[in-house]
Amino acid sequence: PGYVSTPSDASLNLDKVKLIELRARGRFGSVWKAQLVTDYVAVKIFPLQEKQSWMTEQEIYNLPQMSHDNVLRFIASEKRGENLNIELWLLTEFHENGSLYDYLKAHVLTWSQICKIAETVASGLAFLHDEIPPTSTLEAKPAVAHRDFKSKNVLLKSDLSACVADFGLALKFEPGKAPGETHGLVGTRRYMAPEVLEGAICFNRDAFLRIDMYACGLVLWELLTRCNAAEGPVGEYQLPFEAVQEVGQHPSLETMQEYVVNRKMRPLLHDHWKRHPGMASIASTIEECWDQDAEARLSAGCVQERIAALTRTLNS
């Protein structure tokens, strides 16, 4: 879209933003569909006590070389109002399909849709995790860990390619610098890797990236649960570990620890998935993402490459 361009665009007059419809409510604020002149945009409004998430999210979007097809496009951020009425706004591109979570709840997916979503999810995460060297005009992009990766934080564009969103907890790793404040137990319990649930406190860059990959395994599992390619039933959408015999709707930390750390449980990979060669291959990729041993997990780049190769062999 023409009007909304760069974050530093001085012609961007945010007084012209009209909020249209509340689309999502989260821990860190609410997301609105809004109109800016002729374009729809998404406006995330943070409560004042979430100022740190708002700051972190802007900082991540404004890193050099941060634009990528599979990362949500940032438009602008602004502190609105004064004194007791301060609101913290973050404008991004708007995607009518909403989050992957919203979409999976409402739709069953074909094999080619699964492939596209899985590959673009991995591509967005691989880009985020990668360090990109400086160019003659641009500084290096540091590696970034997301730290709250889940299906609610992946958005689907109109062509069903994915983009990663929600960087309020993200951490950047600039070579030679200490990362920011890194207390361990952040993110969404349901998606926490065993080492996070265990309360390990000292993670380095690679350890943080592996924590994202555990969550990526759960998101890929969510995708397979809604795929109609194999012969066998496709049930109602459920979050990872949501099934009644598992941890239910609002698991406590203790419940998640017992399940994921002590009993080393993972969501069920159905037998009938293994009779479809492509789904079987994604199922083994998933197992290599959520391995108890963090060092054995696949990298995002490797997941992306595997799914790309799979798409080439099975769809050609």
Q: Provide the annotated active-site residues.
A: 148
Query: What is the DSSP annotation of 231-242?
Result: SS-------TT-
Output the six-digit token pair for 260: 């994921």
Part in contact with ligand ADE (CB under 6 A); list of ranges 92-100, 107-115, 187-195, 262-270: 92-100
Does position 20 bind ligand ADE by CB under 6 A? no
DSSP labels for 167-235?
-TT-EEE-TTS--S---S--S-GGG--HHHHTT-----HHHHHHHHHHHHHHHHHHHHHTB-SSSS---
Q: Counting contacts by CB under 6 A, is residue 70 touching ligand ADE?
A: no
Is position 99 an interface residue for ligand ADE (rule: CB under 6 A)? yes
Note whether 98 binds ligand ADE by CB under 6 A.
yes
Question: Do residues 282 and 220 lie in contact, with contact meaning Cβ atoms separated by under 8 Å?
Answer: yes
Using CB under 6 A, which of the segments 23-31, 134-142, 259-267, 303-311 binds ligand ADE? Answer: 23-31
The nearest distance, CB 41 to ligand ADE, in angstroms, is 8
Position among 58, 92, 299, 311 found at the interface with ligand ADE (CB under 6 A): 92
Q: Is 24 in the site for ligand ADE (CB under 6 A)?
A: yes
Contact 19, 34 (CB under 8 A): yes
Report the nearest approach of ligand ADE to the CB of residue 79 (Å). 20
Structure tokens at 82: 């004064």
Report the candidate in 235, 255, 230, 236 with the shortest Cα–Cα distance to residue 245: 255
Q: How far is the CB of 31 from ligand ADE (least distance, A)?
A: 4
Q: Least distance (Å) from ligand ADE to the CB of residue 302?
A: 28
Q: Counting contacts by CB under 6 A, is residue 95 touching ligand ADE?
A: yes
Can you spell out the DSSP letters for 35-101? EETTEEEEEEEE-GGGHHHHHHHHHHHTSTT---TTBPPEEEEEEES-GGG-EEEEEEE--TT-BHH
Contact of 16 with 36, CB cutoff 8 Å: yes
- Does position 23 bind ligand ADE by CB under 6 A? yes
Decide: is 101 part of the binding site for ligand ADE (CB under 6 A).
Answer: no
Phi and psi dihedrals of 204, rounded to 5?
-95, -175
Sites for ligand ADE among residues 153-182 (CB under 6 A):
155, 165
Rounded to a whole number of angstroms, the minimum distance from the CB of residue 108 to ligand ADE is 21
> Rule CB under 6 A: which residues touch ligand ADE?
23-24, 31, 42, 72, 92-95, 98-99, 155, 165
